[in-house]
Amino acid sequence: MFTMSKFWEKVFYALSFIFQGSSYLSPYGYGAMHRLHHAHADTERDPHSPKYDDNIWKMMWKTKTVYNDILYKKVKLEEKYLKDLPHWPWLEKIADNWASRLGWSAFYIGFYVIFATEWWMFLLLPIHFVMGPFHGAIINWFAHKIGYVNFKVKDTSKNFLPLDFLMLGESYHNNHHKFGGRANFGYRWFEIDPVYPFIKLFNALRIIRLRKSANPTTAF
Ligand SMILES: [Zn+2]
Ligand SMILES: [Zn+2]
C-alpha cells in the first residue's frame, strides 16, 4: 500500500526490534508469511488458518514453524512472495535469538522492579514477553472465527471487534481481506482505524509514499 526509501526502511526495521523486543518478528519473515496468508487464505497453503487446526496452540506452533522456515530459507518460496521485502540479515542475527529475547525480558522485569507499585502488576509481565505472538494469535485465530462480515470473500475472515482500538484496527479483518492494499482498515462509519491518521501523517511528512490504490472506494 505504500513505499519508503531504504533509509526509512532501516529505521523502521530497527524500531521493530526496539519496540517488539522479546517477541521480535522479522519484517522479512512475517512479510513473506503474510503474503502467503492473503494468497492462500483458508486453504492448505495458508500458514495459519483455524480451519486446518483444532486449536489455537496448534495453529500458533505451525505459524512459528512456517515463519522460521521462511526466515532461515529452509523453504523455497516463489519470487512473488519475496519481491521488494525489506531484509536486514545483520539485524536478524541480533534480534532473532534467545540471548536477545531473554535480555529484553530481564529488562522488562527490571523496569517493573523499579516502577511497579502493586504486586499484581507483575502478572502483566507474561503479556510483555510474548506480545507479538499474543497479538498474532488474536487476529489470526479469532478474526477468522468470530465477528461480522461486510464483504463476501472466499475465506473465513471476519471483523472481530466493531470498535477496534485494542488491535489498532487490525481486527477489521474482513475489510482487510477484501481490500488488502487499502491503508484504512475501517470501512463503515463506526469502524475507526486508529493507525490510519499516522499513515496519513507519515505520507504528508514524506516518510512513506501511499500508492493511489491504497485508497479504493471509501463510502459504504
Ligand atoms: Zn486473515
Ligand atoms: Zn494483510
For residue 219, the model assigns a pLDDT of: 41
pLDDT higher at 220 or 196:
196
The rounded Å distance from CA 117 to ligand 1 centre is 39
State pLDDT tens for residues 1-38.
899 999 999 999 999 999 999 999 999 999 999 999 99
Res. 217: pLDDT tops 80: no
Pairing relationship of beta strands 209-210 and 2-3 according to DSSP bridges: antiparallel
Measured over the CA atoms of residue 161, residue 193, residue 95 and residue 66, the dihedral's sign is: positive
For residue 215, the model assigns a pLDDT of: 76
Mean pLDDT value across residues 39-56: 93
For residue 165, the model assigns a pLDDT of: 86
Q: Which ligand is nearest to the CA of 41?
A: 1
For residue 213, the model assigns a pLDDT of: 81
pLDDT-derived band at 41 (thresholds 50, 70, 90) equals very high
Res. 49: pLDDT tops 50: yes
Taking Cα atoms as reference points, which of 135, 220, 136 lies closest to residue 175? 220
Look up residue 62 and give its three cell numbers: 505451525
The rounded Å distance from CA 73 to ligand 2 centre is 22
The rounded Å distance from CA 140 to ligand 1 centre is 6
State pLDDT tens for residues 62-76.
999 999 999 999 999
d(CA 191, CA 182) in angstroms, rounded, equals 14
For residue 206, the model assigns a pLDDT of: 96
Look up residue 91 and give its three cell numbers: 539485524
The rounded Å distance from CA 33 to ligand 1 centre is 11
